[in-house]
Every structure is written in structure tokens, then in C-alpha cells.
Chain A
Amino acid sequence: MKWEPVIGIEVHVELDTDSKMFCGCRVSFGDPPNTHVCPVCLALPGSLPVPNRKAIQEIIRLGLALNCRINPDSVFHRKNYYYADLPKNYQISQFDVPVCVDGWLDVESDETRFRVGIERVHMEEDTGKSVHVGEGGRIHSAAETLVDFNRAGTPLVEIVSRPDLKSAADARTYAQELRAVVVETGVSDARMERGSIRFDANVSIRPEGSPRLGVKVEIKNMNSFRSLEKAIRSEIGRQTALVTAGERVVMETRHWDEEAEVTHGMRTKEGSSDYRYFTEPDLAPMAFDSSWVEEARSLLPELPALRRDRYRGMGVRPAAARVLASSDPRLRSLFEEAVESGADPVAAGNWVTGEVTASLRRREASVGELPLRGDQIAALTRMVSEGRVSAGAAREVLEGVMDGEGSPSEVATRRNLLQLSDRTALEEVVEEVMAANPEAVERYRSGEGKVRGYLMGQVMRATSGRADPRAVNEILSARL
């Protein structure tokens, strides 16, 4: 029997608000432990939550960007479970009336385009952080566990997809697209390495073509898109091996082990947990004004999918358009400024997604440190199309510009990279080459066409590669 995977992704995003979800403490990262805490986020007796208006506005913006319907009277619930880093031993979350429901996201990769359903986007609060110290340092082998409550109460949005994904690669593509939308709306910096965006996957398999869903396994602890893809692939493999061997998949939560590249079952059986959700009595139901929601919708920025189409409409190659549409806004504005300054969109797109990005990587520089302007890209592409520099030399010109040596033409001149297209000078060079290689000239003239390439190479060598190949060709044709 052939088996097919069914995958859904749950994403947690920490919102980039100034203060926490239910108190005035600052949202922080990397500060000394327990320095951003108060009676509310420490759950001291008697303290009460007050919702963060900004966070609610942000989740609505995100929901709209994901094409969701906004519930006008959304409510908070308590999700009850005991854990040392959960101060109240319940999490204020949402249950049956989340802020945003029934959305979708259009996703594409080199191979496919598809739509992923968004079941819900709901508001909740983050937990504190357990720090396992001493001995093994892992959950089960640490001597001690300390808790840092700086993160406790950080506004957290959970985005739950429908089980629409059919492969590990698709899941990765979806996750990347979703992250791009999150970044675009500006609700979070969405940095995986800081945990400000976290992906969990629900994976099950079923006989190919079956309408029924299999038993799902939740996998956690993936800290990069690569590991998300690998973890899902590994889990699909594990489940397929199980059922092929006649065994059953058990509903459970499994941890991805980055080093061993396998998932491990957790000791606790979470499949049986009962969170005893009930309406949070400390908070009144929310009430969203529909005109406010419509205004928020109209103020949404251009999202990656639309931008992709726009770039393609400008003639940018599909792959470059996709990369560019989801790239850092500063890279995009570099591209857009270049086009505005007269660059050919195809060339500008290729430069920005290709050589500029590569150069940044080589320099280990961030986009924020980008020492380049759009008009410089435009000038560079013009120099190439006009034949003033070769494609290869243009890369060196870019480096020079990024090194702060001046405008592209200044760099090309200073570094002696301009193509030689002066007819008289080139004719002299060709004469010299022909004089130095009489044999080759003879062979060519007697019908050995490929010798022409050799002669061309000699001309290039004599000019350190700066000779305009078109002009050299013309002269060679005339002389030979």
C-alpha cells in the first residue's frame, strides 16, 4: 500500500509590542533573568490581567493579512495545566471564539503553487523560560531547573493551519511564506533563533487517496526551516515504517533531536491531557468595531504574494521575483529604487537577489549595513548593457562600490575595468596578435574555424580581458 502524509503547522509568534499582554512590563530578550516582572506576570495573589490593546490590534492586522474573518465578539479562555514556568498554572488563551478564523495563504515554490487554509489565529500569552542547569543540562538530566519570568506574559499569537500540506518541502515553503507575511505586517521580528517565531508540525499518514485522517503526532523543537523540513520527513518515515510493519501510530508529542536527526517521544502522554477550558472571568468579551477592522484592512502593507505578481508584471524572472518579494524590505527598496532610476527590472532583480545578496553574505554583513543605493545598481546595469564593462568586471565594480570607492563608473575607471572599445586601439592589438600567431591565422584561413576562438583569447589576454568582445569580433572578421 502507498501512504501519503497529511501535515498541519502550528505557529507561535511573539508580538513586537512594547509591553506584555496583560501587564505593563516591558517585552524583552536577553536581559538578566526576572528583571521584567510584576505582580501580574508573576501571578502574585490578587493580581489581575488587563489586555494590551496594541496586541489585539496587531493580531487583527495579522489575521486580515491571512485573509481571516474577524470575530466581532472574541473571548479569552483559561487553559489549565500545571507547569513550573506557567505562573498562574493556567494560560490565558482562546478556545471557541478566537479573534481570527477561516483564512488562507497562497504559497509557491519552484515546483508548485498551492493554497493553505488557516483554521484560526488566536491570542494568548507566552510562558516563562525554564533553564536546566548542572549535570546533563537536559530536561531529564539537569541537577536543577531555574525559571526566568521575563518572557512570561509576552503577547503570543498562534496560527493554526488546516491539514492541507502534503510534503515536508511544502510545509517548509508554507512556513517561510507565513514568516514573510508576519514580517511584512510588522507585528513581530519573527526571529527563529530567538524563538520569537516557533513552528510545530502535526503529522499523520493515511493510505493514498483516503479521505480519512490518520492518528496525528505533534512534533516540536525545530529551530530552523531546514530542521522543520527534516523533522517532518523523518516523522513521515517513522510512521510509514511503523504501519508497514503492521504497528500503530500512537497519538503523542515528539521532540526533534537536531543532532541525531530523529524525533523522540516525550515521557508524558499529552494525548490524554484535558485543559478544562472555560471563559476567563477576569476579562470581558472583546468588542471590535467593524469600521475599525475595515480601516485596519485598508492600511495593510503590500503582502508577499501580491508583490510577487507585481514584480513579475514588471518582467522580473519568476524565481527572482519570489525571492525578492519575501526578502528584507531594505533589499526590496534597493531593487525598486534601481528600477525607478531607470534600471532594467530583469537585470536589477537578478543583481539584488544574486550578486548583492551573495556579497553581503561574503562580508557577513546584515542588510542594515548595506552600503549601496538604487541609483548605483541602475548605473551598473546600464554600464553592462552599454558594453562599458563586461559581466565579470561588473561584479568587481559592485564590490568596489560596496567598499565605498565611489560610483560604478569611478570604480570601473580606477580599477581599470572599462572595456576597450576604441577601434584604433583594438585594431592595433589585433594586428599584434595576428603578427605573433601567423600559424593560427593560416589555419583559420584554411578553414579551421575554431582557431578563431584562440585568437580571440589572445586578444583578451593582451587586454587583460577588458576588450569589448563584440568589437574584437568585428575587427577579426574584417582582418581574417
Chain B
Amino acid sequence: MPSQPLSITSAGAALRSGETTSVELLAAVMSRAEMTESELHCYLNLDREGAMSAARRADRELDRGEDRGPLHGIPVAVKDNMCTRGLETTCSSKILAGYRPPYDATAVARLREAGAVIVGKTNLDEFAMGSSTENSAYGPTRNPWDTGRVPGGSSGGSAAAVAAGSAIAALGSDTGGSIRQPASLCGVVGLKPTYGLVSRYGLVAFASSLDQIGPLTRTVRDAALLLSAVAGHDPADATSYAGQTPDFAGSLDRGVDGLRLGVVKELGGEGYQPEVSEATEMMLEKLAARGAEVTEVSLPLFDVALSAYYLIAPAECSANLARFDGMRYGLSVKGSTASDTMSDTRAEGFGPEVIRRILLGTYALSAGYFDAFYGQAQKVRSLLLDEFSEAYEKVDVLVSPTSPTTAFRLGERTQDPLAMYMSDICTIPSNLSGHPAISVPIGLDSEGLPIGFQVMAPALGERLMMAVAAEVERLAGFDALPPPALAPPPGVPL
């Protein structure tokens, strides 16, 4: 009988059968963290005390027969750009060193409400700006599959923690691929929901029109469960979706029979690692064999989506990060005037990539450049949405690799921002359109590094998207684990 590391589903079953307790689950996760953190650095901050008291409460409640649902008693990690009341929240930036928010992000509050145990705060590229987690002011996270390589980013800490078993599941945020790309590079499932499905209240904003919180998990079912716990309307977020949220786990066994899958022509070919392309091809054949109608679809604007993204996201970030001025919280480098304090604080507090993007964005919004840059990018964005809509008249979902390559080496792309930006070529279009997308691991390359497969769907098409993703998961039968020293131990036999 195959034995896999713990998932939300298997851990939940063990909790309810009395085989284990939340405190034991937490202890297992914490001991994994003890063993792996010096190597991987997934966490910026492990909340031992808070997590233990939450686990004890979860156990007491279960003993009394109070069951909060699938997340009850499950140790979950949270990316450090989501506010946690009283628990340091830094966004991996020096400018927020020691900052303890007075409130919980809505997604965090909902996790707690669902009975989840928050293990700690995971590492990220500073303010979620990056694709490798190397832009953290507190040092990079390493990939459990090969510690010489990056875990992807910006939710690299969350992805690596789930891959290494120092969390059973994690929340990340995705502005241009920051959940899906690290999920792909770390061999876990990562889902970016439809824009507005999960409240952004308490998520420290990078690019407000693109940011979305979502799950990083071991299985597609887990992603559905975690998403269900955090999704839903929030009056504190004016861009939050006001409708009812469906049962995301409800159609995982539907299969792909009769579904129309569109392979995005622009996301493949030159610049893609051949093994990534081959694995994608093979998966498409298997899906076709299960009754999916696989066709190629061309979305020409995908070629310029990256450029549009690198104008819109920096423009928004240049305003969003303006509040970090040393006046009210966080780092404050006192100058002789308020204006000096602001500029000195920002010069010292922000890392180079953040400064680069603030400058880019400020420039793109400036008088005389606005129309040529930001204005033009917004036009591309709106046309891209039209292109998506046209494509979804012909197919039910779109598919592609999640990342053109598997995990790259630390330092390999840090000197070349454009090469780094290319890591997100497959993921960015769904952020610009606000549509949901998911990455599912489908195999390893010749160096033993995970390959991810992306399924994209129209707005609020999560159920269909997850039905396809679940089929991909079954077909891939991906049960590989990182090298023994860093692989999570087998959990409850399934």
C-alpha cells in the first residue's frame, strides 16, 4: 500500500478516527521544520506558542464533538504578506521588521474560524516581487528537491514548506504567478482563484488589481478544501465577489470526458525546456485518451502580456508601497525633516528589486509617459480579456506548462531581471484577466526536478478547472518525493 505524506484529507481522517490529534500533527510538522529549516529556510517566523494553543483548542473542540470542518486541527502555513494579529508580518522586507499588525487578514481570520492551526509565516520575495524568493531581505528559501536551486516565487516559502512537510498546506498570494510557479518548481499543487473570490483585506498590497490569495497543497482536493475555507464575500474588500461560492470539491471526480481543452500555442516551443514540453505533450495525450477534445488555440496577445504586466504591476506598486514612509509604523530612519525621514527610510528599508519596480511604475505613470506606458498596457489588458473570451467560446479550459523551465539555480537569474521576469510568462495572463488557474505536478525532469501543468478557466470556472486538474493528478500519478533528507515522512497509510 502506497504511503504518502499527510494531506488535509488524510490528516483530517486520522484526526476524526482518533488515530492522531491536532497537537500531534503540529508536533510532527514542527519537528520537520526543526530538521529542515536550517537547510531550506521556508519560514521567517514559526509561531510555536500560538500554534500549540490553537492545536489544543482544536483537540478540545473535537473531543466535545465540535467539528469546524475539513481544516479543523490542520497545521497550515501563511505567507508573510498576510496580516496576522500580534504576529510579526514583514513581507520579507527590512522596512517592516518587527511589525505586528493589530488585525488578522480576512483569509487568516477565516482559517482560524475553520479551525486551522497557523504554524507560522513563510518566506517570500520582498513584497511578493520576484520569482525565486531570492529577493527576501532575510535570505532565500531553497528548493527541497535540490537545495542548490530556488523554490520559485514569490510564495517560495509556502511551496517549499508543503513540499518538505513542514506544513500540511499553505496560503500564498499570486500577482503574476507567485502561487503557481513555485508550486510547479516544488512539485505541489498551487491555485490562483478568480480575482475577488478571496478577500484581499489584510494582504499587503503589491498590485491591487492583480493580487489574489490562494492555496498551496499536496493534492487538488486539498486545494479545493483550503479554498472553500477562505473564499467568499467580504464587505471589507470592495472588489470582493458578492455572489455565492460553490462547493469547490464537488466535481473532482467528473473526469474530462467531452471537455474541450485548448492548448495555448504561444506557451511553448522556443525558450521552453524540452522535458517540460514533452511532459506536457504526454499529459495531453493521456487527457485525450480519457475523452477530452484537445485542440490548439492561439492567443497572440500572450506574447505582450508580460510587457503589459511589467507596467501595470509596478505602477500600482509605486502607489501601494508609498505608505511605507517611517511615519506610523515599521522602520523609521529619522532625518532632519519629515521629507528626509521618508526618503531615508525608504532608501534603507526597500531592497533593490522593490526599488526597481517603484521606479518603473513611477515612470510609467508620469505626465508625458502615461499614455505610452500605463495607458497602453491597460489597453492590452482589455484586449487580452477579449481574446480570452473568444477562446472560451471554443474551449472549456486552456492548458499549458506552468513554467517554461524547472527550478533554476540560486543566483542564476538574479543579475538578469528580464530572465527572471520570463519565469512568469505562462502565469501572468490569468492575473491580467482575473481568471482562475491551477498548477498540478505531472512528473520530474532528468535532474529529478518537478514539472508543473497549468489549467486555466474562465472567471468563476474553478469547479470545471479543478475537475480537469484532478484528472491530471490521477493521470500523472505523481508520488515522487524530494531526496530523503528533505522529503516529508510518510503519513497515515491511505
Contact = CB atoms under 8 A, between A and B. Distances in A.
B99 interface: yes
B203 A44 contact: no
B374 interface: yes
Given A43-B328, A82-B322, A90-B322, A51 B365 contact: no
Residue of B101, B235, B322 with most chain A CB atoms under a 10 A cut-off = B322
A84 B338 CA distance: 7
B322 A80 contact: yes
Contacts of B207: 281
Contacts of A197: none
A89 B328 CA distance: 12
Given A282-B238, A282-B239, A46 B315 contact: no
A276 B327 CA distance: 22
A103 to B, nearest CB: 28
Given A276-B366, A284-B238, A284-B239, A45 B342 contact: no
B99 A46 contact: no
Contacts of A284: 238-239
A88 interface: yes
A84 B96 CA distance: 18
Name the residue among B204, B209, B238, B342 with the largest chain A CB count within 10 angstroms: B238
Contacts of A283: 238-239
Interface in A32-61: 39, 42-51
Nearest to A24: B236
A74 B201 CA distance: 24
B319 A46 contact: no
Contact of B329 (A44, A78, A82): A44
Contact of B338 (A45, A50, A145, A278): A145
Interface string B314-332: 0110110011110111000
Nearest to B375: A278
Instruction: Find the residue from B316, B319, B329 having the highest chain A CB count within 10 A.
Output: B319
Contact of B89 (A45, A82, A274): A45
Given A80-B319, A82-B322, A90-B319, A46 B101 contact: yes
Contacts, number: 102
Given A80-B322, A274-B367, A282-B208, A47 B328 contact: no
B322 A281 contact: no
A313 to B, nearest CB: 48
Contact of B238 (A48, A80, A84, A278): A48
Given A281-B209, A283-B238, A80 B327 contact: no
A39 to B, nearest CB: 6
B237 A48 contact: yes
A89 B358 CA distance: 14
B29 to A, nearest CB: 26
B319 A50 contact: no
Contacts of B18: none
Contacts of B200: 48
A87 B235 contact: no
Contacts of A84: 325, 327, 338, 342
30 contacts: A39-B101, A44-B101, A45-B99, A45-B101, A45-B204, A45-B205, A45-B324, A46-B82, A46-B201, A46-B205, A47-B201, A48-B238, A50-B235, A50-B238, A78-B319, A80-B365, A84-B327, A87-B323, A87-B327, A87-B328, A88-B322, A89-B322, A145-B338, A276-B365, A277-B365, A278-B365, A281-B208, A281-B209, A282-B239, A284-B238
Interface of B: 82-83, 89, 91, 96, 99, 101-103, 105, 200-205, 207-209, 235-239, 315-316, 318-319, 322-325, 327-329, 338-339, 342, 362, 365-367, 370, 374
Give me the 9 closest cross-chain CB pairs, A-B, nearest first.
Answer: A89-B322, A281-B209, A276-B365, A281-B208, A46-B202, A84-B338, A45-B204, A43-B323, A274-B367
